[in-house]
Amino acid sequence: MELPPPPSLQSDAERWRLRYGSAGWGKESRHKQREVSGCSHTDTGAEASFGYGTKLTVLDSNRTITPPKVKVLQPSPNECQTNKDKKHKKTLVCVASHFYPDHVSVFWQINGVNVTRGVATDNAALWGGEHYSISSRLTVPLSDWLTPSKTFTCTVSFFNGTDTVPRSDWVRGVEVPAAPTRGKYLRITHTAKLFYATLIAKSSVFGVFVAFLVWRLQGSSGKQKD
């Protein structure tokens, strides 16, 4: 039997059929197989493995080739810092869903420049019964996220059997919460002054009342001695 070419010589079309795995020559997939002209054949989109650590993906003819839907989720407002380095970080999440088959790759860009640092992508797409999904996370310094001029783009490359089709989504950094305006600051300080003035006035009145009460008690005590 003729062996398939090594991965470095495979074209995109060949990678459509041959995907890399750890199984050896001729190992069967989990799905039930049937013998057709002496060769193993799968009916449900299962995977059978061949030489050089490659595995053959047989598509289910009853399923439609569908590109992914991509969505980038903004960082959680409750995320402050990581426990590992104690530095302020923000994590963006990219979710690609509703695609078939799982021939995808994910990459991130900041202002159009590819980034790999801080990127963590699922090892494999998750099968949901009808379609696949995969997620990827990009962790950036808080200062980057608080820069409105920065754009964070997640692109999922999907091979449909003929062409590689990109699907992307992006979000923009946010502004630092604005400081109080001068007018608002003056209103706050004026309110504070009124509060403290009222508090001082009440304290003064209470002090006068206490002094008067002490004077009366002293006067009553002197009269009793006489």
What tens digit of pLDDT does each residue of 42-93 get? 444 555 555 555 546 667 778 899 999 999 999 988 776 555 554 689 999 9
Q: Is 42 left (phi over 0), alpha (psi -120 to 50) or beta?
A: beta
pLDDT value at residue 35:
38
Of 145, 2, 12, the C-alpha closest to 72 is: 145
The listed CATH number (3.40.1010.10, 2.60.40.10, 3.20.20.80, 3.40.190.10) that belongs to domain 69-172: 2.60.40.10
pLDDT value at residue 222:
61
pLDDT value at residue 155:
98
pLDDT value at residue 206:
75
CA distance 10 to 190: 75
CB 54 within 8 A of CB 16: no
CA distance 100 to 94: 18
Backbone angles phi, psi at 139, to 5 degrees: -105, 125
pLDDT value at residue 27:
36
pLDDT value at residue 36:
38
139 bridge partner residues = 91
3-state helix, strand, coil in the chain (%, to 5): 25, 35, 40
| CATH 2.60.40.10, the chain: domain bounds | 69-172
Of 164, 158, 161, the C-alpha closest to 13 is: 161
Intervals of the chain under pLDDT 70: 1-58, 80-87, 177-186, 220-226
Of 70, 143, 162, the C-alpha closest to 108 is: 70
CA distance 164 to 198: 73
Tokens matching residue 140:
């950036």
